[in-house]
Structure 1
Amino acid sequence: MKPPSWYLLQCKPRQDERAELNLHQQNYQTFRPQFATERLVRGKPQSTLESLFPGYLFIQLSHEDNWAPLRSTRGVSRIVDFNRGPATVPDEVIERLRTRCLLPKQVQAFKPGDALQIIDGPLSSLEGIFLSMDGEERVMILLQLLSRKQPVVVPVRHVEAVTAQ
């Protein structure tokens, strides 16, 4: 019995996510490399995930698996093949993609009073004290500005906890 291999599926236009969801519901193991990007939505920057290979996703199958449902799965167009057979993708390629894909930075659980440093933007390199979250993507920190303490709201991705040295 051969171990399962990775194969490449072509999806219908703009249906990568739909194909992935439907394959998961059928208990297939898939991998769709994604990267974080920022887009303007209604004039405001918003973090989103985009496919690294739009229109394609990887699926892990063995020769004993039932391949027939793949043809009728919503969102799936076909199995990519070369030389009259499905194209296998080496496990090393999948592992390298998994380690290199940029996933959204997990929001750190800051506690009131934590020391934070701004690492990006016009206030970069300033340090302040975490006050609270301001929505899901912003933090309110207390900065020493112009000889007094000022509460400032910055994107959470622009701050990091100050580590004791």
Structure 2
Amino acid sequence: MKSWYLVTCKPRQEERAATNLLNQGIEVFYPKLTTEKLIKGRRTVKQSALFPNYLFICLESQNGNFSAVKNTRGINGFVSYGTRYQIVPEALIEQLKYERTSSAESTIPKAGDTVSVHNNTFNNVAAIYKEPDGDMRSILLINLLNQKIEVSVENKDITQ
């Protein structure tokens, strides 16, 4: 019977450890957090470990190659209570996998999203996001005098 176990990694070596374990044929779950933000008006995408310095691995409870895992580059060892390795419930792993796939929300608006503009010209004006206008600006549709007008606005002035 296979079980999920929790292992600790050396600092900032989760990716290396996961790759080495996968090369050995060991199933690994390494949840990552992807964030897309506007920093100084530029869009940046960053991926980081959801649980820094930890990986979930799936091994046979009786005949698993635990020593190979402990000796893998990037791995510190198993999380244990006394002499027993910590088993992670399958339901928790499934929930984490489901939440990773269902939470694909982004901080950057998509075409058709309603946004709010906050700058000197348009303060707290509702608009519809149309498309990016380079890295620093976006084109919005603003309703002025019952007509939709295209306006190019700096990304830092847009909130959802």
Deviations 1:5-49 (A, max 9, x none): 000011011211211122122221111233234678799562312
Deviations 1:89-111 (A, max 9, x none): 111111222233475548xxx8x
For 1:106-117, list aligned pairs within 5 A.
116-117=112-113
Alignment match of 1:6 (pick from 1, 4, 13)? 4
For 1:37-52, list aligned pairs within 5 A.
37=35, 44=42, 46-52=44-50
Q: Report the Cα distance in structure 1 between the residues aligned to 2:137 and 2:41, rounded to whole angstroms.
A: 20
Q: Per residue, is there more strand in 1 or in 2?
A: 2
SS at match of 1:54: coil
TM-score by length of 2: 0.67
The CA deviation at 1:57 is 0.8
Q: Report the Cα distance in structure 1 between the residues aligned to 2:88 and 2:140, rounded to whole angstroms.
A: 50
For 1:118, the equivalent position in structure 2 comes to: 114
For 2:150, the equivalent position in structure 1 comes to: 149
Q: Report the Cα distance in structure 2 between the residues aligned to 1:117 and 1:132, rounded to whole angstroms.
A: 13
For 2:95, the equivalent position in structure 1 comes to: 96
For 2:121, the equivalent position in structure 1 comes to: none
Q: Report the Cα distance in structure 1 between the residues aligned to 2:54 and 2:126, rounded to whole angstroms.
A: 41
Alignment root-mean-square deviation, CA: 3.9
Deviations 1:36-86 (A, max 9, x none): 346787995623122222111100111333333212211111111213121
Q: Percent identity?
A: 30
SS at match of 1:65: coil
SS at match of 1:48: strand
Aligned length: 148
The verdict on how the C-alpha distance between 1:105 and 1:79 changes in structure 2, with shifts beyond 3 A counting, is same
Structure 2 counterpart of 1:117, one-letter code: D
For 1:67, the equivalent position in structure 2 comes to: 66
Extract unaligned runs of 5+ from structure 1.
160-165
TM-score by length of 1: 0.65
Please say which of residues 7-16 and 139-148 is displaced more in the overlay.
Answer: 139-148
Structure 2 counterpart of 1:118, one-letter code: T
For 1:12-23, list aligned pairs within 5 A.
12-23=10-21
SS at match of 1:69: helix
For 1:58, the equivalent position in structure 2 comes to: 56
SS at match of 1:100: helix
